């Protein structure tokens, strides 16, 4: 881009006016789910017996027969055609980013030379996308068996534009998961089973336990014209160079501040569209960094919440463009200001409406509360390295361990009251339990004030914080599919609960009759577990260097290199846990790790390529151009002035000329080394080793070179500088 173009682009960006968003005539409660084939629509469009059958399939996981599938497809088609739908697609979550889809028209020959709209149960239930180029980590070689997608009836189909979208799992012909949804459903099944068994100790009528997820999506908006003028943003989602803006977030004036008009228009439009798609949006606000915002819906069942997050991310990108913005979901689009995360608020609840991670009113409720808290902590303790592996990526790495974000060590914050309660429990003995009458239980658990719910003081540095009635897994990246974290967490908690139950049952004296014996057994296992998982509890400052030392002493995983953190999936403890919970086989874990390493490499590789191009084609030429102007000026001074005076007056210029030379030669030389480092890494065939090479040799070089580019930005004439600067990118007018 030429310098005049930069100014035109910036000028245009600042002239933009908000896009008019028509106010719907209906209220949100009326248009919520307008484009979703939800229960209300099922009731309307399906024959009564088919409706009953579908509810059984959705609520109880009953098997779906072809006749029902055909009838459901027929009802869906009637509804969809009324909305102008012409195509269907299976919508799935491959191991790349985002979602994938392949559209088929509704039309079929009618046998009389014309066409009819046709949509059968078979098309609804299964599709074989030509998916040979989706990553499979070697499970499904291109010439071998194909992968297929299969309908997930637990997530309702919806309409997007002219297409009926069918949420599906994506698996290989031999049954291995090639996506996020299939293992997520298995993990949710495992935690349901394990948690139901334990919940029944307290409430015998519980039939099922639901995992809840409420995500908080952070994002940046930049003006589309400025975005287009930054090849690095365009290709990698982040700026690879750019000096700090004089003003960024130091005044904290953006956080919870008034939202700019253009952004409000975008948010309103986005919320209306999200609500129509059945996503229960609730909260919106400015975030800490300039141009950074957050959006959060009301929590939902985890499988549905994950689908809704995926749909939300694509909707955000789409709606942003309509408003002349680009929505950046990258974890760290700009250096020097906060990055974006996606807090995963997670809890378990029974079908009878009990939030298992919330304290209750009776001693029985509170014993249940402590049980689920402690066993969650046991899972996090045992698998802290794995949980970290579930959230790392090339992009999230810029955020973890940096000063504004969760550290690269998983620990849990409970707050003083809950800590005291756990201490108290470990100090009591069994005979402090007694039963008076049949139902009344006396348990030496101090009354937990309901205030606890609002009183969990907010330790912002904890990656896994208890926040009153749930845990908040804060290390998840803004761009990530939440399923990755939710698979690891729910499966690990399932395993902890299975172990817990096994030990409780062994310790009960009379398994069927005495509640005293049951509660004593529960307490004794809990005491043991509280002691075991203590190292995971940390209420201090997670950003401090002392914590890194201390965490290492406690045996927590402190590795920060992404390719090495990914190894944790293949630890014996992880492989065993995933096998016991039936979530992943070792073969699947191996294959998925290959993909993770490969993805890591590709991300850094693309960054390094575009970075090298920018340096050599954008930065160095303007630096030289400006340097020549300075040299020219020195010559001219010498022409018109006596030499002593000329020397004096050109001293500053001479200094700048020298500076530019130093920075430019550093950049040129090291871009050469960067290319060489890539060449060396590319020759490595082992995916893990290659990723390590990219991490150790390629990524650090970019950081070093960037420093010099950013210095040049401060020296070179603003009119020549080819890329929109941070101060232009970060402030929407
Ligand atoms: P914060 O103060 O952290 O921003 P919010 O109250 O805005 O928290 O809630 C963040 C998310 O947590 C929302 O999606 C909310 O619905 C969800 N949430 C609240 N309670 C629970 C719970 N028990 N389990 C899971 N998610 C929950
Ligand atoms: Mg939160």
**Atom number of ligand 1 nearest to Cα 283:** 7
Q: Which residues pair with 134 in a beta bridge?
A: none
Residue having the nearest C-alpha atom to atom 14 of ligand 1: 214
E-strand stretches of 505-560: none
What is the pLDDT, as a whole number, of residue 531?
Answer: 96
Question: Is 482 close to ligand 1, i.e. is its CB under 6 Å away?
Answer: no
For CATH 3.10.20.70, the residue range(s) in the chain are 33-179
Of 403, 400, 336, the closest CA to residue 543 belongs to 403
Q: For residue 169, give the 3-state DSSP assignment.
A: strand
User: What's the CA-to-centroid distance between 469 and ligand 2, angstroms?
Assistant: 12
Please name the helix (run of DSSP H) or strand (run of DSSP E) that holds residue 681, with its range, or none: helix 651-682
Question: Is 297 close to ligand 1, i.e. is its CB under 6 Å away?
Answer: yes
What is the pLDDT, as a whole number, of residue 143?
Answer: 41
Question: Is 296 close to ligand 1, i.e. is its CB under 6 Å away?
Answer: yes
User: What's the CA-to-centroid distance between 430 and ligand 1, angstroms?
Assistant: 36
CA quadruple 556, 558, 383, 693: dihedral sign = negative
Q: What span, in angstroms and rounded, lies between the C-alpha atoms of 560 and 388?
A: 9
| DSSP conformation letters of 685-719 | -SHHHHHHHIIIIIHHHHHHHHHHHHHHHHHS-TT
What is the pLDDT, as a whole number, of residue 153?
Answer: 92
Question: Is 473 close to ligand 1, i.e. is its CB under 6 Å away?
Answer: no
CATH of domain 33-179: 3.10.20.70
Question: Is 269 close to ligand 1, i.e. is its CB under 6 Å away?
Answer: no
The token duo for 145 is 């068996």
Q: What span, in angstroms and rounded, lies between the C-alpha atoms of 666 and 550?
A: 39
Across the chain, how many H-helices and E-strands are there? 27, 19
Q: What span, in angstroms and rounded, lies between the C-alpha atoms of 674 and 611?
A: 10
Q: What span, in angstroms and rounded, lies between the C-alpha atoms of 500 and 518?
A: 13
The token duo for 513 is 């009759």
How big is the chain by its Cα radius of gyration, in Å?
29
- 510 phi, psi to nearest 5 deg: -130, 95
Q: What span, in angstroms and rounded, lies between the C-alpha atoms of 109 and 117?
A: 9
Average the pLDDT over 353-377 and give the result. 92
The token duo for 181 is 């949804």
User: What's the CA-to-centroid distance between 164 and ligand 1, angstroms?
Assistant: 30
> DSSP letter at 65?
P
User: What's the CA-to-centroid distance between 337 and ligand 2, angstroms?
Assistant: 19
Candidate from 36-45, 280-289, 294-303, 312-321 with smallest mean pLDDT: 280-289
Q: For residue 630, give the 3-state DSSP assignment.
A: helix
For CATH 3.30.590.10, the residue range(s) in the chain are 188-442+451-584
Q: Which residues pair with 214 in a beta bridge?
A: 345
User: What's the CA-to-centroid distance between 355 and ligand 1, angstroms?
Assistant: 13
Give the best-scoring range by mean pLDDT among 117-121, 432-436, 603-607: 603-607
Of 304, 161, 334, 142, the closest CA to residue 236 belongs to 334
Question: Is 344 close to ligand 1, i.e. is its CB under 6 Å away?
Answer: no
Pairing of strands 163-172, 87-92: parallel
CA quadruple 505, 506, 507, 511: dihedral sign = positive
Question: Is 355 close to ligand 1, i.e. is its CB under 6 Å away?
Answer: yes
- 25 phi, psi to nearest 5 deg: -70, -30
Mutation choice for ligand 1 from 188, 216, 459, CB with most ligand atoms inside 8 A? 216
Higher per-residue confidence, 656 vs 435: 656
Question: Is 347 close to ligand 1, i.e. is its CB under 6 Å away?
Answer: yes
Question: Is 294 close to ligand 1, i.e. is its CB under 6 Å away?
Answer: no
Higher per-residue confidence, 607 vs 290: 607
The token duo for 273 is 């569209």
User: What's the CA-to-centroid distance between 312 and ligand 2, angstroms?
Assistant: 18
Condensed to tens digits (0 to 9), the pLDDT of residues 308-356 reads: 999 999 999 999 999 999 999 999 999 988 899 999 999 999 999 999 9
CATH of domain 601-729: 1.20.120.1560
Condensed to tens digits (0 to 9), the pLDDT of residues 462-492 reads: 899 998 899 999 999 999 999 999 999 999 9
Q: For residue 21, give the 3-state DSSP assignment.
A: coil
Query: How high does pLDDT run on average in the chain?
Result: 89
Average the pLDDT over 555-563 and give the result. 95
Residue 296 in contact with residue 215, Cβ under 8 Å? yes
Q: Would the pLDDT of 726 be above 70?
A: yes
Q: Give the number of the ligand closest to the Cα of residue 358.
A: 1
Candidate from 163-167, 262-266, 456-460, 516-520 with smallest mean pLDDT: 456-460
**Atom number of ligand 1 nearest to Cα 212:** 25
Rounded to whole angstroms, what are the CA distances from 35 to 148, 279, 686?
A: 26, 11, 46
146, exposed or middle or buried, with CB in 10 Å at 0-12, 13-18, 19+?
Answer: middle
pTM given for the model: 0.94
Question: Is 471 close to ligand 1, i.e. is its CB under 6 Å away?
Answer: no
Residue 458: pLDDT band (50, 70, 90) is: low
Q: What span, in angstroms and rounded, lies between the C-alpha atoms of 508 and 501?
A: 11
Question: Is 474 close to ligand 1, i.e. is its CB under 6 Å away?
Answer: no
Q: Give the number of the ligand closest to the Cα of residue 356.
A: 1
**Domain 188-442+451-584, what fold?**
Creatine Kinase; Chain A, domain 2 (3.30.590)
Residue 363 in contact with residue 446, Cβ under 8 Å? no
**Atom number of ligand 1 nearest to Cα 358:** 23
User: What's the CA-to-centroid distance between 235 and ligand 2, angstroms?
Assistant: 30
Question: Is 469 close to ligand 1, i.e. is its CB under 6 Å away?
Answer: yes
User: What's the CA-to-centroid distance between 334 and ligand 1, angstroms?
Assistant: 27
Of 682, 411, 447, 364, the closest CA to residue 554 belongs to 411
């Amino acid at each position: 881009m030429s310098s005049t173009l930069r100014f035109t682009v910036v000028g245009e960006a600042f002239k933009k006016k908000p896009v008019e968003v028509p106010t719907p005539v209906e209220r949100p409660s009326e248009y919520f789910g307008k484009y979703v084939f939800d229960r209300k629509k099922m009731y309307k469009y399906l024959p009564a017996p088919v409706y009953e059958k579908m509810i059984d399939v959705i609520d109880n996981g009953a098997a779906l027969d072809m006749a029902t599938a055909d009838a459901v497809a027929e009802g869906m088609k009637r509804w969809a055609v009324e909305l102008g739908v012409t195509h269907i697609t299976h919508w799935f979550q491959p191991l790349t980013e985002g979602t994938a889809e392949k559209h088929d028209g509704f039309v079929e020959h009618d046998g009389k030379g014309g066409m009819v709209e046709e949509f059968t149960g078979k098309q609804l239930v299964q599709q074989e996308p030509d998916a040979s180029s989706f990553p499979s980590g070697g499970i499904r070689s291109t010439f071998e068996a194909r992968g297929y997608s299969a309908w997930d009836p637990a997530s309702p189909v919806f309409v997007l534009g002219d297409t009926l979208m069918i949420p599906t799992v994506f698996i290989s012909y031999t049954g291995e998961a090639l996506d996020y949804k299939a293992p997520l459903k298995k993990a949710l099944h495992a935690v349901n089973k394990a948690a139901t068994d334990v919940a029944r100790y307290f409430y015998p009528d519980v039939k099922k336990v639901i995992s809840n997820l409420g995500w908080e999506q952070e994002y940046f908006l930049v003006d589309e014209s400025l975005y287009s003028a930054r090849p690095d943003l365009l290709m990698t989602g982040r700026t690879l160079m750019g000096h700090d803006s004089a003003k960024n977030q130091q005044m904290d004036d953006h956080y919870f501040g008034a939202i700019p008009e253009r952004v409000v228009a975008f948010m309103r439009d986005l919320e209306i569209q999200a609500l129509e798609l059945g996503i229960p949006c609730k909260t919106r606000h400015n975030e800490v960094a300039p141009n950074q915002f957050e959006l959060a819906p009301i929590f939902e069942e985890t499988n549905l919440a994950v689908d809704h997050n995926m749909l939300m991310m694509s909707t955000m990108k789409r709606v942003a463009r309509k408003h002349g913005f680009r929505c950046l979901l990258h974890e760290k689009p700009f250096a020097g200001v906060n990055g974006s995360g996606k807090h995963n608020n997670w809890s378990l609840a029974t079908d009878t409406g009990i939030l298992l991670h919330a304290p209750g009113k009776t001693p029985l409720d509170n014993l249940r509360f402590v049980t689920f808290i402690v066993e969650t902590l046991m899972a996090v303790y045992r698998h802290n390295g794995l949980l970290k592996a579930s959230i790392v990526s090339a992009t999230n790495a810029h955020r973890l361990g940096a000063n504004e974000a969760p550290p690269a060590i998983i620990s849990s914050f409970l707050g003083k009251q809950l800590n005291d309660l756990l201490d108290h429990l470990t100090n009591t003995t069994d005979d402090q339990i007694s039963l008076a009458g049949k139902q009344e239980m006396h348990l030496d658990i101090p009354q937990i004030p309901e205030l606890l719910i609002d009183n969990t003081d907010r330790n912002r540095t904890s990656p896994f914080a208890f926040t009153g009635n749930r845990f908040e897994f804060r290390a998840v990246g803004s761009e990530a599919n939440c399923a990755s974290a939710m698979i690891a967490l729910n499966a690990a908690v399932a395993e902890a609960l299975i172990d817990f139950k096994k030990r409780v049952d062994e310790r009960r004296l009379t398994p069927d009759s005495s509640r005293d014996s049951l509660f004593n057994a529960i307490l004794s296992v809990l005491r043991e577990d509280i002691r075991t998982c203590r190292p995971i509890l940390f209420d201090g400052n997670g950003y401090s260097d002392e914590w890194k030392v201390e965490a290492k002493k406690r045996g927590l995983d402190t590795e920060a290199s992404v390719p090495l953190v990914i190894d944790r999936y293949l630890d014996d403890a992880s492989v065993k846990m995933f096998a016991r919970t039936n979530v992943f086989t070792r073969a699947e874990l191996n294959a998925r790790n290959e993909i993770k390493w490969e993805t890591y490499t590709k991300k850094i590789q693309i960054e390094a390529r575009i970075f090298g191009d920018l340096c050599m084609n954008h930065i160095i030429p303007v630096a030289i151009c400006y340097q020549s102007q300075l040299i020219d000026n020195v010559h001219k001074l010498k022409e018109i002035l006596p030499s002593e005076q000329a020397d004096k007056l050109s001293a500053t210029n001479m200094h700048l000329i020298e500076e530019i030379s130093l920075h430019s030669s550093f950049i040129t030389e090291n871009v050469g080394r960067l290319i060489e480092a890539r060449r060396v890494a590319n020759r490595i065939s082992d995916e893990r080793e290659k990723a390590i090479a990219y991490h150790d040799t390629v990524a650090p070089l970019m950081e070093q070179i960037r420093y010099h580019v950013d210095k040049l930005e401060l020296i070179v004439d603003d009119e020549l500088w080819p890329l929109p600067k941070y101060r232009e990118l970060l402030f929407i007018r």
